[in-house]
Amino acid sequence: MAEHRTSKGPMAYRDRGEGAKDPIVLLHAFPLNSRMWEPQVEALSEERRIVTPDYPGFGRSPRTPAQPDVRYYAEGVRALIDRLGLERVVLGGLSMGGYLAFACLRLFPERISGLVLANTRPDVDSEEMREGRKEMAHRVSREGVAILTEMMMPRLLAEQTLRNEPEIVESVKGMILECSPDGVVAALGAMRDRPDSIPLLKEIPVPTLVIGGEDDAVSTPEVMGEMADEIPGASHVTLAGAGHLSNLEDPQRFNEAMEDFLADL
């Protein structure tokens, strides 16, 4: 695992594969890290270079000293692709990674040649969701990140995954426990105050894949479908039986959708 140091602090990242086509940068979900993309890296890196960063305070990246907004994280992504000399990339993000992908579109659209929006949503938090993030931040500050394995697992994974896929469950719990409490609290604040990306949808100028899980209670199929309808020419795939972490719950069909999308890029 490599580390890139910017004026805002170091960012750990994984970098694998090569190829003549535009590299892929994949942005992870909250509260996980770049390891969540291992099934995609394994499947896609034979033909493409794939870069997967850890946000500040997640995985092996140390916590930022300030309270960041989503633009801060996007600036870190831009600094990383600058450091790696990547002129244009296919950018993908799942859940919080999707929020950052929207921020990247605002910040450096000319560097993005394709977009994957997985299990995410373009709208701002409702007041109830904002209060929920505040409460979660308070609990993490008091009790540590282990509390997230109790609070979030039913939201992250479909019921059948929780019941029948212990390896996935333990892998997700392990990634959660690799977060720092400060990093989690900072990310919760950034997500809570993120801007509305609905007006951005009609302006997305690149090929876009919208992919989600049939049993995702956070970014429901209805939300994902409405988002796809607003993006010019977007493809939309729903994975039966998958929840919020659809890339881990059904990696084969997620990878197939990615491969079909990438074939024309």
Q: Taking the domains of the chain in order of start, what are their residue ranges?
A: 2-262
Superfamily of domain 2-262: Alpha/Beta hydrolase fold, catalytic domain (3.40.50.1820)
Q: Kindly give the interhelix angle for 96-107 and 181-192, rounded to the nearest 10 degrees.
A: 60
Average pLDDT value for residue range 246-256: 98
| 63 Cβ contact partners less than 8 Å away, ≥ 6 residues apart | 56, 57, 180, 182, 183, 186
- The predicted pLDDT at position 3 comes to 52
- Cα gap 16→19, rounded to integer Å: 10
**What does the alpha-carbon distance between residue 263 and residue 65 come to, in Å, rounded to a whole number?**
41
Residue 8 has pLDDT above 70, yes or no: no
Beta bridge partners of 112: 89
Predicted TM-score (pTM) of this structure = 0.95
- Mention every residue, 6+ apart, whose C-beta is less than 8 A from residue 201: 122, 227, 230, 231
115-172 pLDDT tens trace: 999 999 999 999 999 999 999 999 999 999 999 999 999 999 999 999 999 999 999 9
Angle between helices 181-192 and 70-83 (to 10 degrees): 110
pLDDT of residue 2: 60
- pLDDT 10s digits, 144-159: 999 999 999 999 999 9
Which pLDDT score is estimated for 143? 96
Residues in the chain: 265
